[in-house]
Amino acid sequence: MDTLQTNPTEESKDAQLKSLNMLINGVKLAQSRGAFSLSESSALYEAMKSFMVDPDIEPNSLNEGEKPKTI
C-alpha cells in the first residue's frame, strides 16, 4: 500500500525554497520592467515580505546575484 508523505524531506524543502526564490525574483524582474501598477506592486511586495527574514531590507538594495533570505 502506498503511503502519503506527511513531512517534507530536507531535499523537498530546499527545492521549495529555490522555487520560491525564483518566483520572487521573477516578480522583481517583471516590476522592474513596469509590468505592475503601483497598487499591484504594493500588494506583491507585502506578500513577498512574509517570506523574507529581514523585510526591512529593500529588495533592490541587494547586490547583483544576491538572493533575498527566506524563511
Residue 55 maps to a domain: yes
**Cα–Cα distance for residue pair 13/39, rounded to 1 Å:** 31
Strand partners, 70: 52
Length of the chain: 71
Residue 21 maps to a domain: no
Residue 62 maps to a domain: yes
pLDDT of residue 19: 92
Domain that holds residue 71: 32-71
Which residue has 507585502 as its cell numbers? 46
| pLDDT band per the 50, 70, 90 thresholds, residue 51 | confident
Tell whether the model's pLDDT for residue 53 goes beyond 60: yes
Which residue has 533570505 as its cell numbers? 69
Residue 6 maps to a domain: no
Residue 5 maps to a domain: no
| pLDDT band per the 50, 70, 90 thresholds, residue 59 | low
pLDDT of residue 41: 92
Considering its fold, how many domains does the chain have in total?
1
Mean pLDDT score, 26-30 = 93
